[in-house]
Amino acid sequence: MEHFSLLQGIWRVGNHYWRSKAKNYAILLLMVIIGLNITSVYIQVWLNQWRNVFFNTLQDRDMTAFLDSLYLWGGLILAAWAVSVYQNYLRQLLAVSWRSWLTDRLLGEYLQSKKYYCLQLQDNGIDNPDQMICEDVKLFIDSLLKVFLWFLYNLGILCSFTLILWELSGSFSLSWRESSITIHGDMVWIAVAYALMVDFVMGKMGHPLVQLNFLQQRYEANFRFALVRLREYAEEIALYSGENRERHLLSNYFKKVYDNLQRSIKRQKILDSLIFFLCRGTEPLPYIVAVPRFFSGELQLGGLMQVTGAFEKVQRSLLFFSSWYKEITELKAIVKRLVILMDTMEEFKRLGQKQSIKIIEAPEAAFSVENLNLKLPNGELLLDNFAMRLQPGESLLITGSSGCGKSTLIKAIAGIWPFGEGHIYIPQNQQCLFLPQSPYLPVGTLREALLYPRSSQEYSEESIQGILKKCCLEHLLERLDDQENWSHVLSLGEQQRIAFARAILQRPQWLFLDEATSGLDEATEKKLYSLIRSELKGTGVMSVGHRKDLFVYHQKILTMKGKGCWDLVA
């Protein structure tokens, strides 16, 4: 990314939309917008010619012609208003369509093959991908369309008014000894030379803003994420009385935002000063160049005003990159972040295809693991050449000291842990359900949380209420359709009972419990495990736990001893 190209980045992020099913609608909108853009340029040419007519009527003291010129001005302004309003309206329609398509595509990539989880496993330069998908996509499309359409407008203005300025300009001669050369279009060459000088200076002085804007977006996103975590873990922080510590952490995050913003503001101050003096310093220049021809009678007042207006248009068009430098650097920072996100997800996709831990759907009925070497991201070995076999209806308990890799083994079986090698065989067309220690309960109704990720239409009211009673959740029967953030409303024990109810309702062929009863008392734990055995007789169960009481509910015991060692007792 050291030699990041803005145009290549824009193509990387945006080109697929223009080849998608939405391309016909998008191209039609863009063509109409460009047509309105060209019309806007044409109106500006007419207004420039109007300046000639208008000021000549003043010089000639011709009241009739003066009034006619005002009527013409009114018609041109009305046309300019209609073009401006509809161009902006259609641009917004295109932006909404493009954002909808690109957001959907990135969400699909983000959720596919559990990349949203894998992105957290390594330091890959991706910070807050959620903010990138939500905010950076919007900023990318809005900024790109504005810059692109303004560039087209300036290009049209440049081409049109350069011709006008060339026709209205005079000439000057350069002599050397006995030779001389006459150069036509003096004002055109002056505008070009001055603009090139300004663009060069602005490019040199403004380059640091690219990296500053990139860092600003990262620091802002990190600060926002820290505030979200404060809200998410409000209860835990309150119980620890951790307000001072959280304030210190948030202050550190904001200090990076503040310091980088200060550097950006100082750099922008220098650029703003340069823009002001370099651009405003040329205001008298066209009058100085053209006024001798006016005094000599070669130009009338209207011609003088037309040529100075054309000079101003040409100069502003040539200074496009200088005047839009801030917007372009911000766009470059946004594109760079999106390219990093897309490239990283693409890399995870390639790694997934080459993943050494192979999850294979096998035709046989048993669940099995062969030659599994399970590792941490740093290469530390957790399981060495592990193998096991579990028949339908059998159960296995995984035990061992904290940090030995018990939960990591469950993650590898789920296909979300890429570090290691080996083969995991899952019976074909059979459902595996994983219950983590802290169950996921989406915001919504309790019914939706209970049945996640299934639909409520798949289960009868009687079966739902019956399972809630069996899982000691009778007190929630009246709240099935209440809208809440249930992960904050329910205790950990209640959440874990919801997870067991979810498992019994869905009736998977294979059930994996990762300390799924850690928040329950022994009596409730015994009741739920007995419920699993009675309700899901053909289901294979694999549990992670520390309590010795769990031994009686499992037929096989796997003890993980650390450093790759293990012991399996049937």
Work out the angle between the directed axes of helices 186-206 and 325-353 (0-180°, nearest 10): 50
**Over residues 549-555, mean pLDDT:** 88
Reported as a single tens digit per residue, the pLDDT across 194-236 is: 777 777 776 677 677 777 877 887 888 888 888 888 877 776 6
pLDDT in the model for residue 509: 94
pLDDT confidence of residue 320: 67
Residue scoring higher pLDDT (396 or 71) = 396
Q: Which residues contact 539 (CB under 8 A, 6 or more apart)?
A: 392, 393, 507, 508, 509, 510, 511, 532
What is residue 355's predicted lDDT score, i.e. its pLDDT? 60
Q: What is the mean pLDDT of residues 33-50?
A: 87
Per-residue confidence band for 64, with pLDDT thresholds at 50, 70 and 90: confident
Least confident of 326-335, 395-404, 406-415, 425-434: 326-335
Check residue 60 and give its pLDDT: 74
309, amino acid identity: G
**The predicted structure's pLDDT at residue 466:** 92
Residue 351, pLDDT score: 63
Give 9-19 pLDDT, tens digit per residue.
899 999 999 99
pLDDT at residue 46 in the model = 84
Q: What is the pLDDT of residue 123?
A: 59
Who has greater pLDDT, 202 or 243? 243
Give the 3-state DSSP-derived string for 336-402, with helices as H, strands as E and coil as C.
HHHHHHHHHHHHHHHHHHCCCEEEEEECCCCEEEEEEEEECCCCCEEEEEEEEEECCCCEEEEEECC
Average pLDDT on 155-160 reads: 82
Residues in the chain: 570
What mean pLDDT do residues 492-516 have?
A: 93
Tell me the sheet residues that pair with 180. Answer: 175
**Residue 164 corresponds to which amino acid?**
I
Report the alpha-carbon distance of residue 369 to residue 201 in Å, rounded: 65
165 pLDDT band, cuts 50/70/90, is confident
What digits encode the pLDDT tens for the residues 117-138?
A: 777 766 556 667 887 888 889 9
Looking at residue 369, its pLDDT comes to: 93
d(C-alpha 382, C-alpha 271), whole Å:
56
Span of 48-57, 212-221, 284-293, 330-339 with lowest mean pLDDT: 284-293
Helix (H, G, I), strand (E, B) or coil at 432: strand
Q: Phi-psi category of 177—alpha, beta or left, where left has phi over 0 and alpha has psi -120 to 50?
A: left
State both tokens at 300. Answer: 């009338």
Phi, psi for residue 257 in degrees, rounded to 5: -60, -45
User: Mean pLDDT over all residues of the chain?
Assistant: 84
Bigger pLDDT: 46 or 302?
46
Q: Is 503 exposed, middle or buried (0-12, 13-18, 19+ CB in 10 A)?
A: buried
Do residues 406 and 558 touch, judged by C-beta distance below 8 A?
A: no
How much is the CA Rg of the chain, to the nearest whole Å? Answer: 35
Mean pLDDT across 148-176: 76
Q: Is the pLDDT of residue 307 over 90?
A: no
Helices (H), 169-207: 186-206
Residue 65 in contact with residue 53, Cβ under 8 Å?
yes
For the residues of 91-113, what is the DSSP string, one character each? HHHHHHHHHHHHHHHHHHHHHGG
- Is the pLDDT score of 25 beyond 70? yes
Query: How high is the pLDDT of residue 456?
Result: 67
Q: 546 is written with which tokens?
A: 């520390």
Residue 171 pLDDT level (bands cut at 50, 70, 90): low
The pLDDT, as a whole number, for residue 282 is 66
Q: Is-cis flag, bond preceding 508, omega within 30?
A: no
Whether the predicted pLDDT of 40 surpasses 80? yes
Give the amino acid at 60: D
Give the pLDDT confidence of 362-398 residue by residue, as tens digits.
Answer: 888 899 999 999 988 788 899 999 999 999 999 999 9
pLDDT digits (tens, 9 = 90+) for 448-486: 888 888 876 778 888 899 999 999 999 999 999 998 888
pLDDT, one tens digit per residue, over 498-509 is 999 999 999 999
Token pair belonging to 443: 């915001």
Structural domains of the chain in order of their starting residue, each with its CATH number: 6-172+184-353 (1.20.1560.10), 357-569 (3.40.50.300)
pLDDT confidence of 115, banded at 50, 70, 90?
Answer: confident
Biggest CA pair distance of the chain: 112
Q: How much of the chain exceeds pLDDT 70, in percent?
A: 87
Across the range 267-283, mean pLDDT stands at 73
Task: Place 34 in a pLDDT band, splitting at 50, 70 and 90.
Answer: very high
Q: How many helices (H) and strands (E) does the chain have?
A: 20, 14
